[in-house]
Copies of this chain bind each other. A is one copy, B any other.
Amino acid sequence: MSSDPRTAIMGAAGEVFARFGFKKASVEDIARRAGVGKGSIYLHFESKEALFEACVRMAHSAALSELNARVRRASTPEGQVRAYIQCKLEQQSRKPLGERIELSTLFELGLQAAQFIPRMLEDDAAVLARILEEGVEQGAFTVAGPHHVARGLVMMLMQLTVKMMPDEPDAELKQSVDSFFEVFVRGLLKRSPS
């Protein structure tokens, strides 16, 4: 795919880690998919763990950019919240990409990974918290503790990263998730004064 081996390796690694998790993913398999020799991986990454971390960081960074862009395109707070949730859900259902690396795959790595996970989570939550606060200021939302709510939602969404349906975008499933979040959004809205 890519003539740059580093990129090719990270792409292949993203796919393999997403499909098999950290332990089950084999370096040999990643190399084969990347179209490089097994040893070449070690020219670019210190170890399998380092490669995994690089994949996660890159994936999250790209996802965060997209998230910001999508949110900015909506004009009302409610629209922004919906855009936020939609964007996240779409990112997770995108097929072969690194964004789909599961949270619990991260935990396989143990303590070291635990250090950058909260950071990623906070990055995502900050975007949402901002939206909620603005919604409150503008009189659109009623939210007690926007920061906490934002973190809670983000955590829910990160969990979802688990590839719910191995590869097919299940319509039933999607509707369930949508319905759930519909209730959530309704819970945010300020009630018209009686």
Contact = CB atoms under 8 A, between A and B. Distances in A.
Interface of A: 21, 23-24, 102-105, 107-108, 111, 114, 143-145, 148-149, 151-153, 155-156, 159-160, 162-166, 173, 175-188, 191-194
A177 B102 CA distance: 19
15 contacts: A21-B104, A23-B24, A104-B104, A107-B166, A111-B166, A148-B178, A148-B180, A155-B176, A159-B162, A182-B187, A184-B184, A185-B187, A186-B186, A191-B191, A192-B194
Given A144-B179, A187-B186, A187-B187, A155 B160 contact: yes
* Interface of A, helix, strand, loop or mixed by DSSP: helix
Contacts of A155: 160, 164, 173, 176-177, 180
A88 to B, nearest CB: 13
Nearest to A24: B23
A24 B104 CA distance: 13
A121 to B, nearest CB: 9
Contact of A181 (B107, B152, B181, B188): B152
Contacts of A144: 179, 182
User: What 7 A-B pairs have minimum CB-CB distances, sorted nearest first?
Assistant: A152-B180, A187-B187, A159-B159, A148-B179, A186-B187, A151-B176, A183-B187
A107 B163 contact: yes
Contacts of A182: 144, 149, 187
Contacts of A107: 21, 102, 162-163, 166
Contacts of A23: 21, 23-24
A23 to B, nearest CB: 4
Contacts of A163: 107
Given A148-B176, A186-B186, 11 more contacts: A114-B165, A114-B166, A145-B175, A149-B179, A149-B182, A152-B177, A153-B180, A155-B180, A182-B187, A191-B192, A193-B194
